[in-house]
Copies of this chain bind each other. A is one copy, B any other.
Amino acid sequence: MKCVKCRDKAAVHIRRHNSAFCPACFQEYFTNQVARAIKEDHMFTHRDRILVAVSGGKDSLALWDVLMNLGYDTAGLHIHQGIFEYSASSFAKTTQFAEARHAKLITIDLAAEGDLDIPGVVSSTRRTQCSACGVIKRHYFNRVAVEGGYTVTATGHNLDDEAARLLGNVLRWQTPYLAAQSPVLEATHPRLVKKVKPLYRLSEYETAAFAFLRGVDYIVEECPFSHDAIQLQYKEVLNQLEQRSPGTKQSFVLGFMREGRQAFAATTEVHLKECPSCGYPTTGTVCGFCRLQQEVQKAQAGGRK
């Protein structure tokens, strides 16, 4: 098969577009897709200061790489979760990537933040790893952006991630989650920073191919706590449907953005208050992060008695 752009030997085949690219043209295509999403979905401009969440995996490092290549003003935020070897390795890959590019990297070490490392939180509260991790990551990601004067936060969610999440949300018809699932979430409060997902049009396969071709050294292992196998099963059935009808995931996600989401957004109203403890916006009384922190502190006080 030949590259659709330069007729050289193709290395990456994209069935849903019925096209194939050589390594150089694929990187150009990938970069253009990201640039197009940023522009068409009004994600940010070259005047913005962008905080990129970097885990050390292929998606987040590919995203940061593209954004730097496109000349955006970025910094990386890595949250060290204290998950044994996995976190140590994630941290190493991330710092190595940032140092090689002389890029600014901010690191939050959860163990140093009042024992908020994930194994610690799980042992001192009744939370599951994934729910604790989600609450903590969202909080710091927004807080570091607000305090550092960043105007946009960006994550590496790809098309497969978005399609799997969407499938889970429609199978249970979780209308508030459906209303909130978007590659662009505007800041609706002075202490909330706009959130974007510039890779949402690109598949996991494409992101992996891009990271590989760019020589990005990323962590391949999944988090040892990620037994969120239901999300993996959603990805698997979507892959089966994609196999038979290439473009299924794309039309599912893009069709939702175009046709579906507005139906739910119209029926869902969100009222934000300020958490009396941390001052950051919440839909509840005390925010989820402060509640978690209080649970950890209470457990520690109990342990000291």
Contact = CB atoms under 8 A, between A and B. Distances in A.
Interface of A: 170-173, 175, 230, 233-234, 236-237, 240-241, 244-245, 248, 251-252, 255-256, 258-260, 262-264, 266-267
B171 A241 contact: yes
A172 B230 CA distance: 22
A171 B266 contact: no
By DSSP majority rule, is chain A's interface helix, strand, loop, or mixed?
Answer: helix
Contacts of A175: 259-260, 263
A173 B230 contact: no
20 contacts: A170-B252, A170-B260, A171-B248, A171-B252, A171-B255, A173-B251, A173-B256, A173-B259, A173-B260, A175-B259, A175-B263, A233-B241, A233-B244, A237-B237, A237-B240, A237-B241, A262-B267, A263-B266, A263-B267, A266-B266
A260 B256 CA distance: 13
Contact of A230 (B170, B245, B258): B245
A259 B264 CA distance: 9
Closest 9 CB pairs of A and B: A173-B255, A263-B263, A237-B237, A173-B259, A173-B260, A171-B252, A170-B170, A175-B259, A263-B264
A171 B255 CA distance: 8
A172 B251 contact: yes
A181 to B, nearest CB: 13
A264 B245 CA distance: 25
B233 A173 contact: no
A240 B175 CA distance: 24
A258 B171 contact: no
A286 to B, nearest CB: 28
A62 to B, nearest CB: 27
Given A263-B264, A263-B266, A263-B267, A173 B258 contact: yes
Contacts of A245: 230
